Amino acid sequence: MSNPLPVSGKGGNRARFLANQKKYGHPLPIIIHPPSSSKLSVLSSYLPTFLAPSSSSVERPECVGTFDPVTRSVWVTEPRDMEILFNRGFFGKGTLSRSEPSWRERRIDQVKGGQSAAAEKIREARRIARKQFKIDRAQAMLTAAKAAEAVLTQSTTPGTASSSASVITADEDKVVDGSASPTLSATTTTTIPDVDVSTLTPQTFLIRPTRPDQNRNRGRKAFRRKPPPPQPAPVASSQATESGPSTRVDRPAMEKPVVVVEDTEGEGEGASDDEWDDELVPQMEHLQLALEEAWFLSAGLGVLRIRDPATDTITPIRSLLPLLVTPIPSSISPHPIIRPDDPFLVSYVAYHHFRSLGWVVKPGIKFCCDWLLYRRGPVFSHSTFSCVLIPVYEDLEEKAISPFGNEDWYEERMSWKWMNTIMRVNSLVQKTVVAVYITIPSLNSFPSNCRLQDGTLDPNKVGMRDLLKRYTIREVTLQRFGPARRRD
């Protein structure tokens, strides 16, 4: 699923695309090097190993990760392994970064005094701007509410509201012309405009400041905000002297202090970047793999070995599945059980399905879904589809006795309220929602020699290939319906 090269109209975009193509061009950690032309080499890198030419050489790296039972994920700490797994297929996520584990590079750049606009810096700036926007909005709405209350309490008919009103306080009652009247004390003047009360609506005093990221137009002809007007030039010191001693001279807003680096050893004006040792900055970030990604890399591709922290040994593939399945209470079973409706297996079936079709699959919890589908990866474009997994039991009687059948993980996805929430969120970010119906096979469909005495599956006799071919996947594309926009 390769995208064509962009037009050469903008050299910066083309150079960035070529750099990303060179760095993230391999869709999987396995690389096939055929001895023929370069075009065949690029084509063969997308093919499975059994479809590659017989004379080609296969590069299969070996990476090591550690299973973490608390976060239910696999941690990869070796820098070489982190680079291979993320650059070749976008597997995992940096724990101190948004996506790619780039914390150490950003830290080195920060120590050297660099000004690179990393994604994390842009995100922090947006968060600060949005936080300030919420504060300004709350203050503006509070001010409007006070003004509305003052008008409604002191103006009853059109034209009766005066240009100024007084705050009246009653000290004691006095008799004026035979009637009680409060004594007027010191007043505070508040300016209130002449407003026709009969025309007031709830929107009259609704004041909202401009949101910092209001622009939602996309494309080549996207709306661009006008730059702010230029600030007046600062007053010179000579002009300030002529105007009098009380005149204040403002310093330019963008003025920065000049830092002079003294050379104490006489080797130059300052230390160069070559003298800085990058090894002084330790690597404090690791690549975190979802269990589905770890199982795909280990059992599917054979490039990842998972270490069990309890025994501090590499877990064999045969014994890896009981380590990754969803844990259940010890009151139900003292040891892990394997059932076809296990949430991990149901989720992996969808992950394996879309990965086999060439999509880059990433977790979609940010958009209230299970998986996000990228054409090539998050570096090249945004995700196109949001997948919601909806398990369907082949045998409804097994759902009643299953420890996973009555959980919200299944029931909530069948609710139209939850689906409407997903549609609302994803429509705002221009993503297509795909309902993925996964039919869970019945335990009775497996041979009797593959089942244990309690009716669950035996991990030593059930292979992943035999397990995957028993599931059925149906995809339904959903679209949000707007009655006001679809009348014509």
| Catalytic one of 93, 352, 362, 431 | 431
Phi-psi region of 248 (alpha: psi -120 to 50; beta: other; left: phi over 0): beta
Mean pLDDT value across residues 183-192: 46
According to DSSP, the residues that pair with 75 across neighbouring strands are: 66, 288
Top-confidence residue, 174 or 291: 291
How many Cα neighbours within 13 Å face the side chain of 278? 9
Identify the top-confidence range among 198-202, 254-258, 278-282, 392-396: 392-396
Mean pLDDT value across residues 34-43: 54
Q: Are 325 and 342 in contact (CB under 8 A)?
A: yes
**What local confidence, expressed as pLDDT, does residue 182 receive?**
44
Which stretch of DSSP H or E encloses residue 389?
A: strand 385-393
What is the band of 170 on the pLDDT scale with cuts at 50, 70, 90? very low
**What local confidence, expressed as pLDDT, does residue 389 receive?**
93
Q: What is the tens place of the pLDDT at every residue in 107-117?
A: 888 777 766 55
Strand bridging mode 313-314 / 73-76: unpaired
d(CA 319, CA 308): 10
In three-state secondary structure terms, 52 is: coil
Which residues have a Cβ under 8 Å from the Cβ of 206 and sit 6 or more positions away? Answer: 141, 144
**What local confidence, expressed as pLDDT, does residue 202 receive?**
57
d(CA 387, CA 147): 48
Is 431 tagged catalytic? yes
**Average pLDDT taken over every residue of the chain:** 75
**What local confidence, expressed as pLDDT, does residue 68 receive?**
95
Q: What is the tens place of the pLDDT at every residue in 392-428?
A: 999 888 888 888 876 665 666 777 888 888 999 998 8
pTM higher than 0.85 for the full model?
Answer: no
Is 286 tagged catalytic? no
| Catalytic one of 131, 174, 366, 382 | 382
One DSSP character per residue, 215-242 reads: ----STT---PPPPPPPPPPPPHHHHHH
CA dihedral (155, 158, 162, 163) in degrees, to 10, reads 110
Query: Mean pLDDT lowest for which of 93-107, 203-217, 326-340, 342-356?
Result: 203-217
Is 174 tagged catalytic? no
Q: Which long-range contacts (CB under 8 A, 24 or more apart) does 323-330 make?
A: 323/67, 324/67, 324/291, 324/294, 324/295, 326/404, 328/403, 329/403
Top-confidence residue, 7 or 61: 61
Whether 121 shows a pLDDT value over 80: the answer reads no
How many Cα neighbours within 13 Å face the side chain of 80? 5
Closest CA to 333 of 180, 453, 191, 153: 453
In three-state secondary structure terms, 180 is: strand
Domain boundaries, the chain: 19-59, 61-95+287-324, 102-158+280-284, 330-481
The type of residue at 103 is: W
**What local confidence, expressed as pLDDT, does residue 398 receive?**
86
Whether 240 shows a pLDDT value over 60: the answer reads no
Which residues have a Cβ under 8 Å from the Cβ of 145 and sit 6 or more positions away? Answer: 205
Q: Which long-range contacts (CB under 8 A, 24 or more apart) does 296-299 make?
A: 296/348, 296/351, 296/352, 296/355, 297/29, 297/63, 297/85, 297/91, 299/464
- Classified by CATH at the fold level, domain 330-481 comes out as Trna Endonuclease; Chain: A, domain 1 (3.40.1350)
Closest CA to 324 of 301, 302, 286, 298: 298
According to DSSP, the residues that pair with 308 across neighbouring strands are: 313
**What local confidence, expressed as pLDDT, does residue 270 receive?**
42
What is the band of 435 on the pLDDT scale with cuts at 50, 70, 90? very high
Which residues have a Cβ under 8 Å from the Cβ of 317 and sit 6 or more positions away? Answer: 298, 299
Top-confidence residue, 156 or 460: 460
| Catalytic one of 374, 393, 410, 471 | 374
Structure tokens, 144: 């409007």
The type of residue at 4 is: P
Say which CATH superfamily domain 61-95+287-324 falls into. tRNA intron endonuclease, N-terminal domain (3.40.1170.20)
d(CA 478, CA 36): 44
Q: Are 182 and 170 in contact (CB under 8 A)?
A: yes
